[in-house]
């Protein structure tokens, strides 16, 4: 599983894009794929390294100082730069912007877990070298990033000098013209001390306002060469290591640069921890680190296999997306998954509801420990969510913020941000989905149920009783082109689901004699559960008799439709070219909203109503959000629109590798990547996991010959293979399972082959 691409040194846009596409990350740290030696003067770069969950505070001044408006946000911090390596051959400095490039390509190996550059370069004076550079963010030693840098003299012998840098004077990236990126380039991390310990260097830095500490430590090992010297010197904001010697013709010098990242969120003494992590990594050596990386990925792909025959372009894109999800996902309750993962600073590293609805399903069904960690992050932020609810006037429950890092709201524009109360329903849905897929009741008792109860409490306080119905007013659904409405269908449906499962978990805990400690902790009473049940049953869900669809909200259908066909192509995305109020007065959707509800909560409506809704919203949805086309693909699959389903899927799958939205330079689109996987598993294969068990309604896209994937369901690993004529289910491990296919029940004991239904 490799992705290769020719290096285009003469294309600044391609260089920026490749910094994202070939970044290294492991869920804890991420490093953009910048050239170690740097670029020619004047070429833009986003040079960055990041730690999941490490943030600084930034003032966000409001023009109108009203009560409760957010005036301080968190932002991802660009931490110390450990990438720098400059190579000198005699008096000539290596650069892809001088001399002659005889060969230059990038590689991402998704089985061995490294990125690389393979280069043959001729200097202006005619010296030819081959360079093989590998970079690894270790999946088994999360604080470790290392560079394996080899130089081979092809036609000369002479002096070689390397300067390896460790810099603490870094800033965050900014783009004032794009609201998805920070508007100011600020320096958030300030070095406290820089020191050396033998050949190793240490930088301890502190964030400017949040008071978090980060330590980066770097050491080197050299193999080959003659007469090698190595020395390290610290200066006020960093350190520099110089390596010198003779490189003989046909011989190779190999430099191993080990860098570790630690922080005060996770370690009591991050400097001491960095020292120990660095010594352990150097002692293990690169070869052992490569072996452990490959072993980890072998186990991952064993459980997450997804193969497509007959469409290699799509297959490559899907594999790439799955690998990036693994690189992006937090491994503890201090971090989650940012909108851009750990690949860039788009959306300032904030965590959104995207994680629960688009990404967690992938991990829940392939590597459930990561899915559990993502939910644990929300549980760790529960007190901040309770404070957020009080700030917004609610006397009970918790309200999770629209965008955040450490748990507080970061959205300064509340109509399209804080008002998205549906996030509570999304968090509850993720907890329930995890439970149904894993059967992990212990986690529900420890953390999951508390999340569901506190989210449910919020709905009771936010909603209102009117003529025997329970209604929720003044909220915004997933579609950010329609804000501050009454009875958003998606919101009300997710609240109903949340309330239902709060009641279910209450009785499950009570029957298992696990209720009392939690009930005492949060003062949960039987009367409150009765209120949940009453509100669930009376939840108002807007319905239009004339059209036979669920309106997006109470007022949506009374607005005039936006003329999408008459809108100039250059005016998309609309949010960058039209005032929000102008958008809010029209029937126009940025992304799936009611259509998303018809996927997630499909049992709530019959298939023909869903069909009418899908066709209606299809005509007025711009898909300006990367979260949209994957959902339309899933619902199109459900409805039997195979050609549409495949077209929407392709738009989603290719988004980053082909930069179809033009902003992948700022980071990958993690939620869309999760949505791509969902479009295959939940869409084409028709997989659903419900309280009644595992359901399948499979089909195959016309361009494919076959496809197969694996899921972990409860204690079993199951492979699902679909060809033009046959569905094959294989129980690879675990106990037998009852599975419903096309509405008929079967028992899977080993292998089950069934005829595939036609369109």
Q: pLDDT tens across 344-353, in order?
A: 999 999 999 9
pLDDT digits (tens, 9 = 90+) for 435-473: 999 999 999 999 999 999 999 999 999 999 999 999 999
- Say how many C-beta atoms besides its own lie within 10 A of residue 73's C-beta: 22
Asked if 85 and 94 touch (Cβ cutoff 8 Å), the reply is: no
User: Binning pLDDT at 50, 70 and 90, where does residue 36 land?
Assistant: very high
Give Dmax (Cα) for the chain: 89
Q: How many alpha carbons fall within 13 Å on the CB side of residue 403?
A: 22
Where in the chain are the domains? 2-271
C-alpha torsion 261→262→265→269, nearest 10: -160
Confidence band for 176, pLDDT divided at 50, 70 and 90:
low
Say whether pLDDT at 107 is over 60.
Answer: yes
Q: Which residues pair with 364 in a beta bridge?
A: none
Q: Are 368 and 440 in contact (CB under 8 A)?
A: yes
pLDDT of 661 = 85
* Distances, alpha carbon 437 to alpha carbons 406, 602, 688, 694, in Å: 28, 18, 10, 9
Could you tell me if 511 and 449 are in contact, meaning their C-beta atoms sit under 8 angstroms apart? no
Span 276-285, pLDDT tens digits: 999 999 999 9
Count other C-beta atoms under 10 Å from residue 97's C-beta. Answer: 14
pLDDT of res. 750: 95
Within 13 A of 690's CA, how many CA atoms are on the CB side? Answer: 15
CB neighbour class for 364 (10 Å; exposed up to 12, middle 13-18, buried from 19) = buried
The pLDDT value recorded for residue 611 is: 98
**Distance between CA atoms of 652 and 121, rounded to whole angstroms?**
37
Q: pLDDT of 495-507, one tens digit each?
A: 999 999 999 999 9
* Distances, alpha carbon 261 to alpha carbons 170, 270, 330, 758, in Å: 15, 9, 15, 53
Provide the pLDDT for residue 249: 96
φ/ψ region of 520 (left if φ > 0, alpha if ψ in -120 to 50, else beta) reads alpha
Reported as a pLDDT band with limits 50, 70 and 90, residue 586 is: very high
Active-site annotation holder among 480, 528, 536, 618: 480
Average of per-residue pLDDT values in the chain:
96
Q: Looking at the predicted structure, is the pLDDT value of residue 186 above 80?
A: no
How does DSSP classify residue 400?
A: -
Average pLDDT estimate for 87-107: 96
* Separation between Cα atoms, residue 496 and residue 472, nearest integer Å: 11
Is the pLDDT confidence value at 570 over 70? yes
List the structure tokens of 104.
Answer: 């230059």
Q: In angstroms, rounded to a whole number, what is the distance separating the alpha carbons of residues 34 and 133? A: 12
**DSSP string covering 63-121, please?**
SS--TT---EEEEE----B---EEEEETTEEP-TTSSEEEEEEEEEETTTTEEEEEEEE
Helices (H), 308-409: 312-328, 354, 360-366, 368-380, 382-391
* Sequence-ordered list of residues with C-beta below 8 angstroms from that of 480, at least 6 positions apart, any chain: 416, 575, 590, 591, 625
Going by their DSSP bridges, the two strands 693-696 and 737-741 should be labelled as: parallel
Token pair, residue 308, equals: 């497509």
Is the sign of the CA dihedral 442, 444, 447, 449 positive or negative? negative
Backbone phi and psi for residue 40, each to the nearest 5 degrees, phi listed first: -65, 155
Strand order in the sheet with 213-223: 2-6, 100-109, 114-122, 128-137, 144-153, 252-263, 213-223, 200-207, 189-197
pLDDT of 177 reads 58
Burial 711-750 (b: 16+ CB within 10 A, else e): bbbbebbbebbbeeeebbbbbeeeeebebbbeeeeeebee
Instruction: Give the integer Cα–Cα distance in Å for 181 and 346.
Output: 5
275-322 pLDDT, tens digit per residue, is: 999 999 999 999 999 999 999 999 999 999 999 999 999 999 999 999
Residue 665, phi then psi, degrees to nearest 5:
-55, -30
Q: CA 706 to CA 249: how far, in whole Å?
A: 51
Domain boundaries 2-271, corresponding CATH code: 2.70.98.40
DSSP bridge partners of 88: 93, 161
Nearest C-alpha neighbor of 502 from the set 454, 555, 560: 454
pLDDT at 178: 54
What pLDDT score was predicted for residue 175?
67
Locate 617 and state its tokens: 């919203």
Q: What are the structure tokens assigned to 151, written together?
A: 């130089």
List own/partner pairs for 272-279 with CB under 8 A and 24 or more apart: 273/143, 273/215, 274/143, 274/202, 274/215, 274/216, 274/217, 275/197, 275/200, 275/202, 275/217, 277/141, 277/143, 277/144, 277/217, 278/200, 278/217, 278/218, 278/219
CA-based torsion, 585, 590, 594, 597: positive or negative: negative
Q: How much of the chain exceeds pLDDT 90, in percent?
A: 95
**In the predicted structure, residue 185 carries a pLDDT above the cut 60:** no
Q: What is the mean pLDDT of residues 605-614?
A: 97
Closest CA to 234 of 185, 192, 289, 269: 192
Question: In angstroms, rounded to a whole number, what is the distance separating the alpha carbons of residues 53 and 582?
Answer: 36
pLDDT tier for residue 614 given thresholds of 50, 70 and 90: very high
Q: What is the pLDDT of residues 638-677, one digit of tens each?
A: 999 999 999 999 888 989 999 988 899 999 999 999 999 9
Chain centroid to CA 755: 36
- Residue 229, SS3 per DSSP: strand
| CA atoms of 634 and 602, how far apart (whole Å) | 11
CB 431 within 8 A of CB 451: yes
Q: Does pLDDT of 180 surpass 80?
A: no
Going by pLDDT thresholds of 50, 70 and 90, the confidence category of residue 68 is: very high
User: What's the confidence (pLDDT) of residue 580?
Assistant: 97
The alpha carbons of the chain give a radius of gyration, in whole angstroms, of: 27
Helices (H), 621-754: 629-639, 642-653, 670-678
Cite the beta strand spans of 415-503 per DSSP E.
Answer: 463-466, 469-472
Give me 348's structure tokens: 């300032």
pLDDT of residue 64: 86
Q: With contact defined as beta carbons under 8 Å apart, do 141 and 217 qualify?
A: no
For residue 212, pLDDT beyond 90: yes
Query: Side by side, which strands form the sheet with 716-723?
Result: 306-309, 706-713, 716-723, 726-733, 751-755
In the annotation, is 93 catalytic? no
The per-residue pLDDT for range 366-422, each reduced to its tens digit, is 999 999 999 999 999 999 999 999 999 999 999 999 999 999 999 999 999 999 999
Please report the pLDDT score of residue 65 as a whole number: 86
pLDDT for res 651: 85
Q: Label residue 182 by pLDDT band (50, 70, 90).
A: low
Q: What is the DSSP letter of 357?
A: I
C-alpha torsion 57→62→67→71, nearest 10: 0
DSSP-derived letter for residue 559 is S
Which among 665, 587, 600 has a CA at the least distance from the CA of 627? 600
Phi (first) and psi of residue 184, to 5 degrees:
-125, 140
């Amino acid at each position: 599983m490799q992705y290769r691409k020719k290096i285009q040194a003469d294309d600044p846009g391609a260089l920026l894009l490749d910094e994202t596409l070939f970044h290294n990350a492991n869920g804890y740290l991420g490093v953009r794929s910048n050239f170690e030696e740097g670029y020619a003067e004047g070429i833009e770069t986003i040079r960055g390294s990041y730690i999941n969950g490490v943030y600084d505070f930034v003032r966000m001044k409001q023009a109108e100082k009203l009560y409760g408006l957010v005036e301080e946000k968190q932002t991802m911090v660009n931490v110390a730069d450990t990438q720098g390596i400059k190579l000198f051959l005699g008096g000539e400095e290596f650069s892809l912007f001088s001399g002659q490039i005889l060969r230059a390509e990038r590689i991402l190996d998704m089985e061995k877990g490294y990125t690389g550059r393979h280069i043959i370069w001729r200097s202006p004076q005619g010296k030819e070298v081959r360079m093989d550079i590998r970079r690894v963010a270790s999946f088994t030693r999360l604080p470790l990033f290392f560079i394996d840098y080899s130089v081979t003299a092809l036609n000369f012998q002479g002096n070689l000098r390397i300067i390896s840098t460790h810099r603490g004077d870094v800033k965050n990236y900014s783009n004032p013209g794009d609201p998805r990126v920070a508007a100011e380039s600020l320096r958030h991390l300030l070095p406290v001390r820089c020191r050396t310990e033998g050949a190793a260097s240490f930088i301890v830095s502190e964030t400017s306002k949040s008071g978090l500490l980060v330590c980066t430590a770097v050491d080197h090992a050299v193999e080959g060469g003659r007469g090698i010297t190595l020395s390290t010197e610290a200066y006020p904001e960093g350190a520099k290591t110089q390596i010198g010697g003779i490189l003989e013709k046909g011989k190779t010098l190999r430099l191993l640069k080990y860098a570790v990242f630690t922080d005060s969120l996770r370690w009591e003494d991050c400097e001491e921890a960095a020292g120990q992590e660095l010594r352990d990594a150097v002692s293990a050596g690169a070869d052992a680190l490569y072996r452990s990386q490959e072993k980890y990925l072998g186990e991952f792909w064993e459980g997450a296999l997804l193969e497509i025959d007959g469409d290699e372009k799509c297959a490559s894109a899907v594999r790439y997306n799955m690998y990036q999800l693994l690189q992006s996902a937090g491994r503890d309750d201090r971090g989650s998954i940012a909108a851009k993962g750990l690949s860039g600073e788009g959306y300032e590293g904030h965590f959104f509801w995207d994680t629960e609805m688009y990404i967690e399903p992938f991990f829940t069904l392939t590597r459930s420990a990561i899915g559990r960690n993502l939910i644990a992050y929300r549980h760790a932020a529960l007190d901040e969510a309770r404070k957020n609810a009080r700030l917004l006037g609610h006397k009970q429950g918790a309200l999770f913020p629209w965008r955040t890092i450490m748990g507080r709201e970061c959205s300064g524009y509340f109509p399209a941000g804080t008002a998205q109360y549906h996030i509570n329903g999304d968090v509850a849905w993720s907890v329930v989905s995890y439970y149904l897929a894993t059967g992990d009741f212990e986690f529900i008792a420890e953390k999951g149920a508390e999340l569901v109860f506190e989210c449910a409490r919020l709905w009771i306080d936010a909603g209102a009783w009117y003529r025997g119905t329970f209604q929720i007013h003044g909220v915004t659904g997933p579609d950010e082109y329609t804000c501050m409405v009454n009875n958003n269908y998606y919101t009300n449906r997710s609240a109903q689901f949340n309330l239902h499962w709060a009641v279910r978990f209450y009785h499950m805990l009570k029957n298992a004699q696990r209720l009392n400690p939690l009930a005492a902790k949060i003062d949960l009473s039987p009367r409150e559960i009765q209120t949940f049940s009453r509100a669930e049953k009376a939840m108002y869900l807007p319905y239009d008799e004339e059209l036979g669809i669920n309106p997006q909200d109470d007022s949506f259908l009374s607005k005039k439709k936006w003329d999408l066909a008459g809108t100039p192509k250059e005016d998309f995305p609309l949010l960058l070219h039209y005032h929000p109020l102008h958008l809010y007065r029209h029937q126009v959707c940025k992304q799936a909203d009611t259509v998303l509800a018809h996927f997630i909560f499909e049992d709530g409506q019959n298939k023909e109503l869903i069909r009418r809704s899908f066709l209606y919203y299809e005509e007025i949805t711009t898909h300006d959000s990367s979260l949209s086309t994957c959902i339309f693909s899933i619902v199109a699959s459900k409805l039997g629109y195979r050609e549409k389903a495949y077209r929407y899927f392709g738009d989603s799958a290719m988004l980053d590798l082909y930069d179809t939205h033009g902003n992948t330079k700022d980071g990958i689109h993690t939620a869309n990547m999760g949505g791509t996987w969902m479009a295959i598993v939940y869409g084409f294969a028709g997989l659903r996991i419900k309280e009644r068990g595992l359901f399948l309604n499979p089909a195959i896209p016309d361009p494919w010959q076959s496809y197969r994937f694996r899921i972990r369901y409860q204690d079993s690993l199951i492979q699902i293979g679909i060809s033009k004529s046959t569905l094959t289910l294989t129980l690879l491990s675990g106990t037998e399972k009852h599975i419903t296919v096309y509405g008929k029940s079967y028992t899977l004991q080993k292998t089950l082959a069934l005829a595939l239904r036609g369109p």
